[in-house]
């Protein structure tokens, strides 16, 4: 058995709160939930002994043992299916996809089994499916995807994507305690970003799923976004502010079920909307947000709703190509400037 494999040193228990990066906050959250509730366990490829490709689950096996830190074969369908089965038995699995690109081999199990179980026969599945998403790190077409809109059209899956260390911890705890399947996407660029290091509470706290936050207050236009693009939105807002444009930034935090009232409130305040996301434009979640605004706040609009997103290509590898593919701060500033002047 793999328990016989020697580890050179045991990982340390993470601090409780304190100054933490995104990945440290996330790891604290999982650790504390495993301490709190013996039915919580982790499952995935290289999550145990190795601690995960991005070390999100580092050291959990030392503390909680192999029984609750399950290293699997390369089998995303088995990971999702086994998580569902264990959840039926009353366990609370936290399953990892090594990269969110590899959620696709588990797609069938997610959309057909996990998503429909409660609806079909009342068997809610308290499951978390998490992993690193997102581009901008020159990882090419198969380690860069943003998968939220693959799943947003499937009833029965909640989708969250935090953009701060505080939310990373609060949302993973909420996801683990949720009675239904939650897809938890972590933008890999955020994991160790010094800018995101912040003081988080020592106390147990959760961030409610389904609630957006106002990341920056403004009057002239709203940028609606989530994940790593929140940082681009904030930087663009700073630049536009120097030009006299006051920008509000809404960080959705949850993509499904979406906090429509937070979106509509911001639209009513600024009357101009820029939707920003990192996935490709066509069929992206931005279209759904724009449609919601058109239906529910049309009379409050002073300008067309504008989308800034990746172009409709796979994510290319070479830096200049990837830069062209992805929405950049300058794209957001340009769009914001035009929108403000409309």
Nearer to other proteins, 104 or 328 (CB): 104
Asked whether position 18 contacts other proteins by CB under 8 A, the answer is no
Asked whether position 184 contacts other proteins by CB under 8 A, the answer is no
Cα pseudo-dihedral 269, 273, 274, 278, rounded to 10: 80
How far from the centroid of its chain's Cα atoms is residue 163's Cα?
8
Window 146-175: residues binding other proteins (CB under 8 A): 155-156, 158
Nearer to other proteins, 41 or 185 (CB): 41
Asked whether position 314 contacts other proteins by CB under 8 A, the answer is no
- Name the phi and psi angles at 256, rounded to 5: -145, 125
Asked whether position 80 contacts other proteins by CB under 8 A, the answer is yes
First-to-last CA distance in the chain? 66
Nearer to other proteins, 201 or 257 (CB): 257
Quote the least distance from Cβ 1 to other proteins, whole Å: 9
Asked whether position 291 contacts other proteins by CB under 8 A, the answer is no
Cα pseudo-dihedral 53, 202, 259, 240, rounded to 10: -80
In sequence order, the 6+-apart residues with CB closer than 8 A to the CB of 310 are 135, 146, 277, 278, 279, 280, 281, 325, 326, 327
List the Cα angle 128/230/178 in 5-degree steps.
20
Q: What is the set of active-site residues?
A: 143
Asked whether position 75 contacts other proteins by CB under 8 A, the answer is yes
Quote the least distance from Cβ 321 to other proteins, whole Å: 32
- Name the one range near other proteins by CB under 8 A: 77-85, 137-145, 316-324, 327-335: 77-85
**Going residue by residue from 81 to 120, which x/- string records binding to other proteins, judged by CB under 8 A?**
xxxxxxxxxxx-x-----------x--xx--xx--x-xxx
| Helices within the chain (DSSP H only) | 22-36, 60-64, 76-88, 107-108, 117-121, 148-151, 165-177, 229-242, 260-270, 285-296, 319-325, 329-341
Quote the least distance from Cβ 68 to other proteins, whole Å: 7
Asked if residue 153 lies in contact with residue 111, where contact means CB atoms within 8 angstroms, the answer is: no
Cα pseudo-dihedral 200, 202, 208, 214, rounded to 10: -30
Nearer to other proteins, 87 or 135 (CB): 87
Quote the least distance from Cβ 94 to other proteins, whole Å: 13
Quote the least distance from Cβ 153 to other proteins, whole Å: 13
Asked whether position 121 contacts other proteins by CB under 8 A, the answer is yes
Asked whether position 78 contacts other proteins by CB under 8 A, the answer is yes
The footprint of other proteins on this chain (CB under 8 A) covers a number of residues equal to 47
Asked whether position 342 contacts other proteins by CB under 8 A, the answer is no
Task: Provide the 8-state DSSP code for 188.
Answer: T
Window 43-72: residues binding other proteins (CB under 8 A): 67-68, 70, 72
How far from the centroid of its chain's Cα atoms is residue 55's Cα?
17
Helix axes 260-270, 285-296, angle to 10 degrees: 60
Four-residue CA torsion sign, 134, 137, 141, 142: negative
Q: Which residues bind other proteins (CB under 8 A)?
A: 39, 41, 67-68, 70, 72-73, 75-91, 93, 105, 108-109, 112-113, 116, 118-124, 155-156, 158, 178-180, 210, 257, 295
């Amino acid at each position: 058995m793999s328990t016989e494999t020697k580890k050179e040193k045991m990982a340390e228990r993470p601090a409780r709160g304190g100054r933490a990066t995104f990945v440290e906050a996330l790891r604290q959250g999982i650790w504390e939930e495993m301490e709190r509730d013996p039915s919580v366990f982790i499952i995935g490829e290289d999550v145990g002994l190795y601690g995960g490709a991005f070390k999100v689950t580092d050291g959990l096996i030392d503390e909680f043992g192999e029984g609750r830190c399950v290293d699997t074969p390369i089998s995303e369908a088995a990971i999702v299916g086994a998580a569902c089965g264990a959840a039926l038995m009353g366990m609370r699995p936290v399953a990892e996809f090594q990269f969110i690109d590899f959620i696709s081999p588990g797609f069938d199990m997610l959309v057909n089994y996990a998503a429909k179980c409660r609806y079909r026969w009342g068997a809610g599945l308290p499951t978390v499916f998490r992993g690193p998403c997102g581009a901008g790190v020159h990882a090419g077409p198969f380690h860069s995807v943003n998968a939220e809109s693959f799943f947003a059209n499937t009833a029965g899956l909640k989708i969250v994507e935090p953009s701060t260390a505080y939310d990373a911890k609060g949302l993973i705890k909420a996801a683990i305690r949720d009675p239904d399947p939650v897809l938890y996407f972590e933008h890999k660029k955020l994991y160790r970003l010094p800018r995101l290091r912040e003081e988080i509470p020592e106390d147990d706290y959760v961030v409610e799923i389904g609630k957006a936050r106002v990341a920056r207050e403004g009057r002239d236009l709203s940028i609606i976004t989530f994940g790593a693009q929140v940082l681009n939105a904030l930087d663009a807002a700073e630049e536009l502010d120097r030009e006299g444009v006051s920008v509000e930034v809404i960080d959705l935090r949850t993509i499904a079920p979406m906090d429509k009232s937070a979106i509509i409130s911001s639209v009513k305040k600024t009357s101009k909307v820029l939707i920003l996301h990192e996935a490709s434009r066509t069929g992206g979640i931005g279209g759904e947000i724009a449609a919601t605004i058109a239906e529910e706040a049309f009379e409050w609009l002073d300008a067309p709703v504008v989308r800034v997103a990746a172009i409709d290509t796979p994510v290319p590898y070479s830096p200049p190509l990837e830069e062209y593919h992805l929405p950049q701060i300058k794209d957001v500033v340009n769009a914001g400037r035009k929108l403000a002047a409309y």
